[in-house]
Amino acid sequence: MEHPKAEIPPGKPATQVDALGRKVWDKSYYAKVAENKAGGQSGSVEQSIATLLPDPLRKPVFAVPEVRENLKRRKETVDVTKDVGKVRVINALTHKSQQGGFYCKVCDCLLKDSQAYMDHLNGRKHNRMLGMTMRVEKVDAKTVAEALRRRVMQQSVSKHAVEELHRDAQERIKELEAEEREMKQRRKMNKKGKQDTKSGKIKKEEVQEATNDRQPDATEELMRSMGLPTNFVQSTK
């Protein structure tokens, strides 16, 4: 089935100026042109107006879901500090998503500060593009009580896990302290043993030197001549 050919309203748009001498667009004329191009369908007027604009000024028209749900909690985590300290080289042809700022791919818009970005994510336009309204789901007291009960159970489980972890850490610390004390005692005993061995060796050397320095008497001379030992102290080599 062929659509009727779009008819342009006769005449030209009225040329008007405001109090400052600036040109004012004839909105009624261009609205009729857009409506004629859309075939009388009011839902496509916005798309038709976009086709009348030059390419650099043409904005993409996003399809909004007809059936929208209630407002839901955001599942993904928004990190506004992921690009802090990074340097980018941009030019006139760089896409919005690669320019400096915060880019929303759902709405194809670029915001320059984190506060405006968060306001946009929580605003009506963004949630409308996601298929949600700004109304929250109404629940009864029973559902709220069940949610609070689950929350308390999760907190109790996490608290028990933290206590168990703290107890294990304390036991491990005690074991490490006992091992350290035992190691210190072992080093102390080894050091003491070395000192005792050194002092005993010194005493034996002193006894040997005293024995060697002592003048032999007649009995020792006689025993030495007979091949008998004259000193019963063991010599250390």
Please report which helix (H) or strand (E) contains residue 69, including its range: strand 69-71
What number is the average pLDDT over the span 207-235?
64
Cβ contact 66:128 at 8 Å: no
- Can you tell me which residue has the tokens 């909004």? 64
DSSP β-ladder status, 69-71 and 23-24: unpaired
pLDDT tens-digit profile of 167-212? Answer: 888 888 888 888 888 998 888 888 877 776 766 666 666 666 666 6
Provide the pLDDT for residue 237. 45
pLDDT tens-digit profile of 67-116? Answer: 788 888 888 888 888 888 888 888 888 888 888 889 998 888 899 889 99
Pair of tokens at residue 194: 């070395």
Please report which helix (H) or strand (E) contains residue 198, including its range: helix 141-213
Angle at 58 between CA 55 and CA 62, to 5 degrees: 135
Provide the pLDDT for residue 148. 86
pLDDT of 229 above 70: no
Provide the pLDDT for residue 160. 77
pLDDT tens-digit profile of 119-166? Answer: 999 998 898 888 888 888 888 888 888 888 888 888 877 777 878 888
Provide the pLDDT for residue 117. 92
For the whole model, what pTM was predicted? 0.40
Tell me 81's DSSP state. Answer: T
Of 28, 7, 8, the closest CA to residue 16 belongs to: 28
- Residue 91 backbone class (left: φ over 0; alpha: ψ -120 to 50; beta: rest): beta
pLDDT tens-digit profile of 18-64? Answer: 788 788 888 888 888 877 776 655 555 556 565 655 555 556 666 66
Provide the pLDDT for residue 193. 76
